[in-house]
Amino acid sequence: MGASQTRAEHQYQDLADKTGFSFEQIKNLYQRFQQLSGNEETISRANLNSIPALANNPIRKQIIGAFFDKRNQHQDEVGSCDQIGFEQFLMVMSHFRPPNLRTTDEEKEAMRKEKLRFLFNMHDSDNDGTITLAEYRKVVEELLSKSGEIGQETAKAIADAAMLEVASINVPNMGPEEFYEGITFEHFEEILKGLEMESRMHIRFLDVDTSTMRCGKSQS
């Protein structure tokens, strides 16, 4: 009993160091993980797909895909896996932690980069380091997919406008012959710097300072 306790704590300590969560939060998330996986060691896409609340989400596939994307594990691997363990689950969740009063400016900057990277990975499905026009079009299409029959043309138009905007901000003096390959990570950062990602992209209960709320017990 004592041994397993310390082993669990040891494990938690490891995870806490890596992801920055507190023990309480890790415990919460572990319970949720158990629930999702049906008490297995790993969860697969099917487990996540079966969450009923996600059915209405237009970018469900991308979200689920992000969990299985190796690039989000910060271990310089690419590709995707089929099953993820609790550690990977936590790693992905750690992208959604908010900054607190003690976070310095450099840490905030690093946080922002990390979150933007996460978003970038979600868009850049073929992992070539740029978001091409086709990929961006797909993003917009998915966003609009739950909104009825909008059709491809609008999505295309919007995506093109967006791309044009990125290009004109980052490379304003392009000659007519040049071709803008796609949105690189730096350009991505540039266009989204107004959004203050480090404070926008977070889930409230994952904040270490606020009173931790428990993971709800959903019906799935």
- Please report, as residue ranges, which positions from 52 to 71 form the binding site for other proteins (by CB under 8 A): 53-54, 56-60, 62-63, 67
Cβ pair 120, 62 in contact under 8 A: no
Interface of this chain with other proteins, residues 135 to 194, rule: CB under 8 A: 139-140, 143-144, 147-148, 150-151, 153-154, 156-158, 160-169, 171-176, 178-180, 191-192, 194
Euclidean distance between the first and the last CA atom of the chain, given in angstroms as a whole number? 31
Question: Which residue number, 39 or 56, has a Cβ lying nearer to other proteins?
Answer: 56
Q: Which of 8, 16, 51, 81 binds other proteins (CB under 8 A)?
A: 51
| Cα gap 183→83, rounded to integer Å | 30
Interface of this chain with other proteins, residues 88 to 117, rule: CB under 8 A: 93, 96, 98, 100-101
| Cα gap 197→52, rounded to integer Å | 28
| Cα gap 136→155, rounded to integer Å | 10
| Cα gap 197→192, rounded to integer Å | 8
Q: What angle do CA 203, 109, 91 make, to 5 degrees?
A: 45
Instruction: Tell the smallest beta-carbon distance from residue 88 to other proteins (Å).
Output: 13
Q: Is 201 in the site for other proteins (CB under 8 A)?
A: yes
Q: Is 211 in the site for other proteins (CB under 8 A)?
A: yes
Options 11-19, 50-58, 74-82, 106-114: segment touching other proteins (CB under 8 A): 50-58
